């Protein structure tokens, strides 16, 4: 790996950081990435994949395994609070999940793909819309990706709070499945003096809130968690008995099956409560993510690659509670998602002062390089 390419990747990372684009608006980001990868001579480029995404195909022209490596590139709608000279130029958004770093490290990897590629193809995917859980699903269902006959897929997420450069290998799932739920209850408003003439959903909302909290005591087969994120009921109109209510929650589990069971239990409860209080109801799911399941063989390749480079490995005993849409890739192809530590004292993902660690660019690019050697 050349020093000049590492410097270029750092520069790109900071440029992306300064000009963050949120999910589904990653046009300038994609342009910058395209310019950077093109200098390393990919054989094919697939544009506008899953929205603003890009895929670069490096083809050895010799039959072998086809390996896809993915980086995400979207930012968050959260204000960055930081003193770094390359902080976001926008007031309302920032690269606070490190997708700027994921992308820049994949660009850096593209500088050594040619020398590592002996057989098969390497496909580098730069994906948008990860934070909303939409990008990965769109990419894996794109015909142009389907036609590439992918054998393995890989990705990493940077992890603050873990030692810089430590490779974090999950037992099985990397991150949990999750979904937002909006439960809407509809009754009928009435004069506050005559509540018996209306249908007021407040008690039903109260019972649902208790249920969504108590469900955490239920023993599901796998890790499960329900978090109430909000509720809404009526207005500051003291002459009116309210007629509508809404409960918002996020549920998560290490397994897709358990998440499904939780949803079913919640839906059953909503149905029962609604019929008891004579309410109409609607249950809507928002931003569903599958669990990021890993393939054993794919994980063992990453482990071998990390050991081959003398990188320190930490085995994770349980998956991260948050979600990652790379699960859509590993549902379809053998693959693995792993973590790379960016430093013990780094602010956590999605917090206003979070920043990626540029030392990881080289580490991630080297890991992918070694991985290709292990597989091919």
Interface residues with Zn ion (CB under 5 A) are 97
C-beta of 134: minimal distance to Zn ion in Å?
A: 13
Residue 337: strand pairing partners: 155
- Alpha-helix residue ranges (DSSP H) falling in 200-351: 202-214, 256-276, 296-308, 327-332
The angle at the Cα of 176, spanning 174 to 177, to the nearest 5 degrees, equals: 130
C-beta of 120: minimal distance to Zn ion in Å?
A: 28
C-beta of 99: minimal distance to Zn ion in Å?
A: 6
C-beta of 351: minimal distance to Zn ion in Å?
A: 11
Question: How crowded is residue 272: how many other Cβ atoms within 10 Å of its Cβ?
Answer: 12
C-beta of 349: minimal distance to Zn ion in Å?
A: 6
C-beta of 196: minimal distance to Zn ion in Å?
A: 48
C-beta of 327: minimal distance to Zn ion in Å?
A: 13
Nearer residue to Zn ion within complex by CB, 97 or 125: 97
Nearer residue to Zn ion within complex by CB, 40 or 354: 354
The two beta strands, 66-72 and 121-127, are parallel
Nearer residue to Zn ion within complex by CB, 103 or 370: 103
Going by C-alpha positions, the residue among 133, 249, 247, 282 that lies closest to residue 180 is 249
50-to-44, 113, 225 alpha-carbon distances in Å: 17, 24, 30
Nearer residue to Zn ion within complex by CB, 75 or 247: 75
**Entry field: residues in the chain:** 376
Measured in whole angstroms, the distance separating CA 143 from the mean position of its chain's CA atoms is: 22
> Measured between alpha carbons, how far is 74 from 48 in angstroms, rounded to an integer?
14
End-to-end CA distance of the chain: 19
C-beta of 15: minimal distance to Zn ion in Å?
A: 19
> Measured between alpha carbons, how far is 69 from 376 in angstroms, rounded to an integer?
15
Nearer residue to Zn ion within complex by CB, 16 or 183: 16
Nearer residue to Zn ion within complex by CB, 97 or 291: 97
Q: Name the DSSP letter for residue 347.
A: P
Residue 284: strand pairing partners: 182
Do 376 and 65 touch, CB atoms closer than 8 A?
A: yes
Nearer residue to Zn ion within complex by CB, 97 or 365: 97
Site of tokens 């606070």: 96
Q: In the complex, which residue's CB is closest to Zn ion? A: 97
Nearer residue to Zn ion within complex by CB, 97 or 266: 97
């Amino acid at each position: 790996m050349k020093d000049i390419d590492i410097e270029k990747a750092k520069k790109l990372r900071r440029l992306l950081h300064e000009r963050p684009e949120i999910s589904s608006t990653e046009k300038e980001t994609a342009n910058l990435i395209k310019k950077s990868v093109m200098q390393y001579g990919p054989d094919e480029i697939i544009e506008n994949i899953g929205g603003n995404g890009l895929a670069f195909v490096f083809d050895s022209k010799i039959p072998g395994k086809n390996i896809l490596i993915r980086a995400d590139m979207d930012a968050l709608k959260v204000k960055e609070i930081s003193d770094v000279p390359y902080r976001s130029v926008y007031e309302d958004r920032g690269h606070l999940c490190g997708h700027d770093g994921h992308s820049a490290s994949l660009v850096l990897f593209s500088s050594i793909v040619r020398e590592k590629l002996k057989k098969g193809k390497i496909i580098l995917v730069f994906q948008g819309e990860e934070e909303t859980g939409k990008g990965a699903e769109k990419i894996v269902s794109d015909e142009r990706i389907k036609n590439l006959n992918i054998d393995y897929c890989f990705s990493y997420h940077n992890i603050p709070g873990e030692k810089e450069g430590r490779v974090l290998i999950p037992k099985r799932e990397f991150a949990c499945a999750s979904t937002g739920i909006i439960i809407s209850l509809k009754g009928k408003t009435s004069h506050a003096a005559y509540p018996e003439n209306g249908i007021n959903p407040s008690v039903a909302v109260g019972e649902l809130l208790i249920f969504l909290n108590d469900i955490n005591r239920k023993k599901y087969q796998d890790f499960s968690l329900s978090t109430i994120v909000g509720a809404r009921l009526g207005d500051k109109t003291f002459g009116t008995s309210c007629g509508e209510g809404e409960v918002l929650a996020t549920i998560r589990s290490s397994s897709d099956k358990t998440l499904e069971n939780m949803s079913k239990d919640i839906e059953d409860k909503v149905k029962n409560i609604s019929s008891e209080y004579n309410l109409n109801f609607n249950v809507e799911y928002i931003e569903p993510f599958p669990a990021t399941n890993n393939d054993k063989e794919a994980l063992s390749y990453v482990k071998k690659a990390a050991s081959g480079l003398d990188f320190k490995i930490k085995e994770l005993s349980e998956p991260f509670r948050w979600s990652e849409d790379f699960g859509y890739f590993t549902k379809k192809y053998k693959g693995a998602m792993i973590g790379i530590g960016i430093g013990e004292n780094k602010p956590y993902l999605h917090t206003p002062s979070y920043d990626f660690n540029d030392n990881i660019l080289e580490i991630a690019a080297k890991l992918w390089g070694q991985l290709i050697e292990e597989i091919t």
